[in-house]
Chain A
Amino acid sequence: MFYRDAGELKTSYAQEQAIFPVALDRRAVIGVVCAGALMPLVAGPYWLGSILLPFLILSLAAIGLNILTGYAGQLSLGSGAFMAVGAYAAVNLVIRLPMLPFPVSFALAGLVAGAVGLAFGLLSLRIRGFYVAVATLAAQFFIEWICTHIPWLVLNTPSGVVSTPTLFLFGFAFSSVPSRYLVAFVAVVVLALLAKNLVRSSAGRALMAVRDHETAAELTGVDTARAKLTAFAVSGFYCGVAGALWSFLYLGTVEIEAFSLHRSFQILFMIIIGGLGSILGSFLGAAFIVLLPVAIANAAVLFGGALKPDVLANLELMIFGALIVSFLIIEPNGLARLAVKAKERLRRWPLAY
C-alpha cells in the first residue's frame, strides 16, 4: 500500500532505462540527496565533520569493495592498500603538481589506484576463490611496504607522515567543515550513481555472471577475464578516491597506519553486514560500522557513574559484537536484504501476502 510500483506505464525507452525506474524509488533517492546537500544547514560541525564525513567516505570504499566482492565474487583483503595508493598518489599530485585542480588530481589518484588494482587483478586470471583473497592480502602487505620504504612517496619527511595541504578550487579554500563535507558528498553521490549504473549494464551483468558461475559464464560467451579485470580496476578506482578523500578531508594526514589490514577488514565487514551485491547495502553497512560504536559510547555516558570506565570500554565492544551477530542471524544477507523485505511488506500492507 505504501510502496507502489504498479501502474507506472513506460512510454519511452528513456523511461525504461532509467536508473530508478520506480517513481517512489526515484523520489526517495532525490529526497535523500537533497537532505544530504542541505545537511550543513542543520547539522553542527561535530555531526558533519566527525560522523557524516567518515560515514560518506567509508561508504565509497565499501561501494568499491562491493563491486569487486559483492558483484564479481572476488574476495579482496586489499581495500585498505588500494585506499593507500589513492591517498599517496593524491598527496603527491596535489603537492608536486599544484597547477592541477584538485578534482582532477583526485581522479588521477583514483586511476593510479585502479591501475594497481588491475595489476593485482591479473593474478585472479590464474587463481580462484580463497587464493585470490591471499593474492589481495599480498597486495596489502606489499603496498604498505612500498609506502613506508620509498621516501619520495612521503615527500622525504623524516617521520613518514605527510600533512595534507588545504584544497583550493578557483580561489576557494575547502578548509571549513561544511565545505569538506560537501566535497565528499558530491564525490560520493556522483560515484554511487555511476556504480548503480554500472551494475545494471552489460558489464555489470558480466560481473554477476562470473560471481555466480564462472564456467557457465564463459560458456555463455561472457569474457570472464575482462570482467574480472574490470572489477579490480573499478574497485581500485573507488577505493583510491575514497583513500584520497579520507586523507585530505578527514584525517588531514597521509600515513600508512590509516590504511592497514584493520581498515581492509573494516570495509569487508561493512559489505557483509550491509549486503553483498548491493549499492544501498554499502551505505547501510558503513552506517552500521561507523555510527554504532559512537552511539554506544554516547549511550554509555548515561551510565557513566554506575560503571567503571574499564568495564564500559569493553562493554562497548561486546554490545557491538552482539549486534553484528544478531543482525546476521536475523538476516544473513545483510541490511540491504532487510530493506528489500521491508519494501515487500510495505507493498502488500495491510494484507498478509
Chain B
Amino acid sequence: MSRSPGTRRVPTLAFACALGVAAFTAAVSLPVSAQSPAPGAGKPMEQFVPIAIYRTGPYAPGGSGIYGAYADYLALVNARDGGVNGVKLVYEECETGYQPDRMIECYERQKGKGPTGAAAFTPSGTGGVYALIDRMTADKIPSVTIGYGRTDSSDGRVFPYFFPLISNYWSENTATIRYIAEREGGLEKLKGKRIANVVMDFAAGRETQAILDAQAKRYGFEVTTFPITPPGLDQRAVWLQVRQYRPDWVLFRGWGAATPTGIKEAARAGIARDRIIGWWWSGSEEDVTPAGDAAKGFITAQFHATGPNYPVFEDIKKYVYAKGAGNVEENRIGSVYYVRGVLHGVAVTEAMRTAMAKFGNRPLTGDEVRWGLEHLVMTADRIKELGLEGLMPEIKVTCADHEGDGAIRFQQWDGAKWVMISDWIKSDQSMVRPLIEASAAQFAKEKGITARDCASETN
C-alpha cells in the first residue's frame, strides 16, 4: 500500500473517460456512416423497405410476430420471385420498443436509405402514426398500417400518404353490429336489445363511442359503456356491473393482459362467452390461451383468416425457414399476428407491382409507391395467385378511400384454435364515411390543408 491516493485514482478515472469517449465516438460516428445513402451506382435494382419492429417491451409478442412476418414475406418475394419484377427488396429492422419517440427516430434514420429511399414505412404503433403525419407527408413516403392507425386517415383526400388498409375500428364496429343482427335474424330485430360496450379506457378503446351511438339511434338498441382502467388487471367490479345490466350482447375492446383477465371475470360473473364479441386486438392466440377454458366460445372480429394451411405459408417455410433465414419462431407461422405481418408485406409489394406497371420495373420513390397504393386492387384471382385465398378480403383502394372497402369475419375460440364462424361481412360505409369525412375535415381545417380533388387526378 505504498501508492498515494492520487495515483490510485488514475486508472478508474482513465477507464471512465475511455468508456465515455468510446460511447460518444460510437454515438457520433456510426449513425453518420449508416445514414449516408448507399450509392445507387453499384446495385441499382434494389428497393429499400424499412421495418420498424418492437421485439422488446410489454407488447413484444405482437411486435415480433407482425413485423417479423413482414420481413419473412419480403424474404420470400426475394427468394422465390427474385424480388418484385426483378427489383430486389433490401430490408432492415429498427427496434422501437413501442415508443412513439423511437418510432420517429427509426423513421428518420431509415427513410433515406437505398437508391430511392424507403418504399413505405410501417410506423408499428398508432402513436407513431399520429406523430409521423407531418413528416411523412413532407417526405412523400406512404405509411401502411393494417388493423391500426389513424381512423380518419381513411379519407385519402386529406391524408394522401396514410393507408389504414382493409378496415378501421369504426368500420369494424358497424360490421360487428351487422353480425349481431345476422345472429338475431335481421337488423329490425336489434330493436330493444341491450348491448354492453366494455372498453379499455384509452383512446382506441373509446374511439367507437360515436359510431355506436349513431347505430343505436338508427336501429333502436340500447348501449351502455363500461370503462376498464388500463392495464386492466382487476376487472371484477366492471363485469359484475355488466351482469346487472343483463346485456344481450357484450362488445369487448381489451388489449394485452386485459383480454384474458376480462374473459375470466366474465366467466366468473356468469356471462356467456359466446355472447361476448371482442375487437381484433383481443383476437390472437396470445389473448385467449391464458384464460384457459373460460375463453371457450369467445368471439372476436377479424380482418383476415388464420391457420397454417395456406399455400403462402408453405412457400415461406420452403424458401425462407428451410434456409434458416426466418425472422420469428417457425411454430408461429399462421398465427394471428403472423398473418397480419404477411398482409403488410403483401400490401407493400403489390403496391410496388401496381406502381411499376406505370413507372417501369425499377426502384420506386415513396411517392410512386403511394400512387401504387392508391390504385391497389386485390381481386379474388390475385389473392388466390399469391396463395392467400380465404386469408384476406378483396380490397380496392382509391384516391379518396384509403381503407379499400375491406370486410370483417368473425372467429370463435374452441379451446385450442380460432374457428371462422362467419363469412366476410361488409362494413356499413354509409354510416362510417360521413364520420370519417367530418373528422378529416376538422383536421384539414386545424392544419390549413386543402383536400385533394380526386376527380381531377386522371392518372
Min distance, Cβ B279 to any Cβ of chain A, angstroms: 15
- 1/0 per residue B432-455: CB within 8 Å of A? 000000010011001110000000
Is A258 in contact with B31, judged by CB distance below 8 angstroms?
Answer: no
Given contacts A330-B15, A352-B4, contact A163 B130 (CB under 8 A): yes
- 1/0 per residue B70-101: CB within 8 Å of A? 01000000000000000000001111000111
Interface residues on B, range: 35 or more
Is A310 in contact with B55, judged by CB distance below 8 angstroms?
Answer: yes
Identify the closest chain A residue to B109 (Cβ): A46
Min distance, Cβ B6 to any Cβ of chain A, angstroms: 4
Choose, from A21-29, A124-132, A209-217, A293-301, the stretch at the interface.
A293-301
Cβ–Cβ < 8 Å partners of A49 in chain B = 108
Check A47 for interface membership: any CB of B closer than 8 A: yes
Check A257 for interface membership: any CB of B closer than 8 A: yes
Most central of B55, B68, B94, B447 by chain A CB within 10 Å: B55
Identify the closest chain B residue to A292 (Cβ): B23
Most central of B12, B105, B327, B447 by chain A CB within 10 Å: B105
Most central of A44, A251, A316, A341 by chain B CB within 10 Å: A251
Check B276 for interface membership: any CB of A closer than 8 A: no
Choose, from A80-88, A154-162, A226-234, A235-243, the stretch at the interface.
A154-162
Check B64 for interface membership: any CB of A closer than 8 A: yes
Cβ–Cβ < 8 Å partners of B289 in chain A = none
Cβ–Cβ < 8 Å partners of A251 in chain B = 100-101, 104, 130-131
Is A258 in contact with B100, judged by CB distance below 8 angstroms?
Answer: yes
- 1/0 per residue A57-70: CB within 8 Å of B? 00000000000000
Choose, from B203-211, B280-288, B312-320, B406-414, the stretch at the interface.
B203-211
A327 to B9, CA, bound (A): 15
A212 to B398, CA, bound (A): 66
Is A304 in contact with B108, judged by CB distance below 8 angstroms?
Answer: no
Identify the closest chain A residue to B36 (Cβ): A44
Cβ–Cβ < 8 Å partners of A314 in chain B = 55-56
Q: In the complex, which of the residues B13, B68, B71, B207 contacts A341, with contact meaning CB atoms closer than 8 Å?
A: B13
Cβ–Cβ < 8 Å partners of B101 in chain A = 54, 250-251, 258
Is B108 in contact with A50, judged by CB distance below 8 angstroms?
Answer: yes
A175 to B327, CA, bound (A): 38
Task: Give the residues from 192 to 209 in chain B that come closer than 8 angstroms, CB to CB, to chain A.
Answer: 201-204, 206-207, 209
Check A179 for interface membership: any CB of B closer than 8 A: no
Identify the closest chain B residue to A247 (Cβ): B131
Check B383 for interface membership: any CB of A closer than 8 A: no
A295 to B105, CA, bound (A): 12
Task: Give the residues from 35 to 64 in chain A that come closer than 8 angstroms, CB to CB, to chain B.
Answer: 44-47, 49-51, 54
Given contacts A46-B109, A251-B131, A338-B20, contact A345 B439 (CB under 8 A): no
Is A253 in contact with B130, judged by CB distance below 8 angstroms?
Answer: yes
Identify the closest chain B residue to A257 (Cβ): B127
Identify the closest chain B residue to A165 (Cβ): B446
Check A123 for interface membership: any CB of B closer than 8 A: no
Min distance, Cβ B111 to any Cβ of chain A, angstroms: 9
A334 to B58, CA, bound (A): 29
Check B150 for interface membership: any CB of A closer than 8 A: yes
Check B1 for interface membership: any CB of A closer than 8 A: no
Cβ–Cβ < 8 Å partners of B357 in chain A = none
Is A330 in contact with B109, judged by CB distance below 8 angstroms?
Answer: no
Is A161 in contact with B20, judged by CB distance below 8 angstroms?
Answer: no
Is A298 in contact with B34, judged by CB distance below 8 angstroms?
Answer: yes
Min distance, Cβ A352 to any Cβ of chain B, angstroms: 4
Identify the closest chain A residue to B132 (Cβ): A252
Is A294 in contact with B27, judged by CB distance below 8 angstroms?
Answer: yes
Is B55 in contact with A148, judged by CB distance below 8 angstroms?
Answer: no
Identify the closest chain B residue to A258 (Cβ): B100
Q: In the complex, which of the residues A54, A252, A298, A317 contacts B31, with contact meaning CB atoms closer than 8 Å?
A: A298
Min distance, Cβ A256 to any Cβ of chain B, angstroms: 8
A185 to B112, CA, bound (A): 26
Given contacts A54-B101, A317-B56, A342-B13, contact A159 B133 (CB under 8 A): no
Check B380 for interface membership: any CB of A closer than 8 A: no
Is B26 in contact with A46, judged by CB distance below 8 angstroms?
Answer: no
Min distance, Cβ A54 to any Cβ of chain B, angstroms: 6
- 1/0 per residue B15-28: CB within 8 Å of A? 11101100110110
Cβ–Cβ < 8 Å partners of A293 in chain B = 102
Cβ–Cβ < 8 Å partners of A352 in chain B = 4, 6-7
Most central of A46, A293, A341 by chain B CB within 10 Å: A46
- 1/0 per residue A95-133: CB within 8 Å of B? 100000000000000000000000000000000000000
A138 to B322, CA, bound (A): 53
Cβ–Cβ < 8 Å partners of B4 in chain A = 352-353
- 1/0 per residue B124-147: CB within 8 Å of A? 000100111111000000000000
- 1/0 per residue B320-338: CB within 8 Å of A? 0000000110000000000
A317 to B13, CA, bound (A): 25
Is B26 in contact with A299, judged by CB distance below 8 angstroms?
Answer: yes
Check A331 for interface membership: any CB of B closer than 8 A: yes
Cβ–Cβ < 8 Å partners of A345 in chain B = 13
On B, residues with C-beta under 8 Å from A are 4-7, 9, 12-13, 15-17, 19-20, 23-24, 26-27, 30-32, 34-35, 53, 55-56, 64, 68, 71, 92-95, 99-102, 104-105, 108-109, 112, 127, 130-135, 150-151, 201-204, 206-207, 209-210, 327-328, 439, 442-443, 446-448
27 contacts across the A-B interface (CB closer than 8 A):
A46-B108, A46-B112, A54-B101, A148-B203, A158-B206, A159-B150, A161-B130, A251-B131, A252-B134, A255-B130, A262-B99, A291-B24, A292-B27, A295-B27, A297-B94, A298-B26, A298-B30, A299-B26, A301-B34, A309-B68, A310-B68, A314-B55, A316-B56, A327-B16, A330-B19, A342-B13, A353-B4
Q: Supply 15 further A-B pairs (C-beta < 8 A) apart from A148-B202, A304-B92, A327-B19.
A: A50-B105, A158-B209, A159-B130, A161-B130, A163-B130, A252-B130, A252-B133, A253-B130, A257-B100, A257-B127, A262-B99, A298-B31, A309-B68, A310-B68, A323-B23
Which 8 pairs of residues, A with B, have the shortest CB-CB distance? Answer: A353-B6, A160-B203, A295-B27, A313-B55, A50-B108, A298-B30, A352-B6, A253-B130
On A, residues with C-beta under 8 Å from B are 44-47, 49-51, 54, 95, 148-149, 157-161, 163, 165-166, 175, 250-253, 255, 257-258, 262, 288, 291-299, 301-302, 304, 309-310, 312-314, 316-317, 323, 326-327, 330-331, 335, 338, 341-342, 345, 352-353
